[in-house]
Structure 1
């Protein structure tokens, strides 16, 4: 049952909607822009590391579901809101935020379920930090923004896509900006279940309730055990990847002259 308990962070972030069943400790986190399909902005880049830290620090959370709004998971980006990425001092902020968002996602020490409700065209690395990935049958997966902007895909996709697809296929996916359908992603082992859009959230909550029957420490330490290697790989690769991305971002100024 949903209760009136609302931690302070539930209303702290403009682009995140939170609802929790306090009987089971299942937290649903829904990305949105004005309660419609989510548009990634500089503000969300700044705020998401703090949001995921707040989720990880709240020990009343026992299972977390991450999803989007409407018919897309994350398909739009406001490039102008990201600031002057050709300025190294501005990129330093992006560098820090880009590291922390993945580290803080992986520090959520309870099982995480991604419910991919439509096209996931950017920051798909968020999805790949979760333990169960469900996709609606209209979902697609692509790394859209990096090569379109002329910068290195170094924000974690360079670590996690080769991990889940294999080194050769993962590099191909990033370099060709390949679009995978939900069914292709399922066949390649990225997605665990493909569902009609009308069934997606119902199934996510079914799995979350199944997990929530376990003792709390079992939930927490299973997540810790299952993410140990992923944490190591992300920590090894994320700073280096973002540094390479930053060099190419600052070089955009020369390309524009």
Structure 2
């Protein structure tokens, strides 16, 4: 069991506050818009542990996940690159963190609402795995971290996007770096609502508070039921996907 005081200030890239059982997790990089990295103190390294802390806190009833400023995660921060001397040294950690990030997100036993405050171009699978996905009008979704960057899309995106978009559109999305705007994402069923930026968080908070008024057992068992297929697919396919991604990276690095 954890308490908010144990983890609220534990992570340098995740700000956390709670009101009425609703925990807000706001991603950022040094107080500004969140950027991705591969170091242990980047979001890649922190999110899995943070999701586990959140999951173990019985006072959390609903989670709101959002970003900072005009983007959710739209690029990389070079200062957060991996510290290991080579790819072979890096991959055992990346494998463990990649598994923890998505498995622990799905292990959170309370409903999650994503408020996508702008472009989610790097690891956009994180917000769209939430139970309710709201997006600002200028938000867009893409997977630019993997195949368009010469990397195998094996760390869960190969599971999520074909599930959400369908097998053919999902493969097209991953192989071409397609950007899907908020309105199109809503039409495709990836996003539940598209809102003006100023209305995004108020709407997420209102939904969260209305849900938090429900009995805890109803919240937790509904979340368990609605994520069952996601958890099964991720358990079956994530480790293999990460292994394929690592293999390609190691072969390329040696070549």
Q: Corresponding residue for 2:93?
A: 93
Match runs of 1:76-225 below 5 Å: 76-78=75-77, 81-83=81-83, 87-225=87-225
Distance in 1, matches of 2:82 and 2:136, equals: 29
Q: Corresponding residue for 2:50?
A: 51
Report the alpha carbon displacement of residue 87 of structure 1 after superposing the two structures with TM. Answer: 2.4
Supply the RMSD in Å over aligned alpha carbons. 1.5
Distance in 2, matches of 1:220 and 1:72, equals: 30
TM-score between both structures, scaled by the size of structure 1: 0.93
Deviations 1:12-56, CA, capped at 9 Å, x for gaps: 0011111100xx200000001121101112222222111110000
- In structure 2, the gaps of 5 or more residues are none
- In structure 1, the gaps of 5 or more residues are none
Distance in 2, matches of 1:84 and 1:145, equals: 20
Look up the SS of the partner of 2:135 in the other structure. strand
Report the alpha carbon displacement of residue 85 of structure 1 after superposing the two structures with TM. Answer: 8.8
Match runs of 1:235-250 below 5 Å: 235-250=235-250
Match of 1:35 among 4, 10, 31: 31
Report the alpha carbon displacement of residue 94 of structure 1 after superposing the two structures with TM. Answer: 0.4
Look up the SS of the partner of 2:8 in the other structure. helix
Q: Corresponding residue for 1:70?
A: 69
Q: Which runs of 4+ in 1 moved over 6 A?
A: none
Equivalences, count: 249
Distance in 2, matches of 1:117 and 1:252, equals: 35
Residue 26 (structure 1) aligned with residue 22 (structure 2)? yes
TM-score between both structures, scaled by the size of structure 2: 0.94
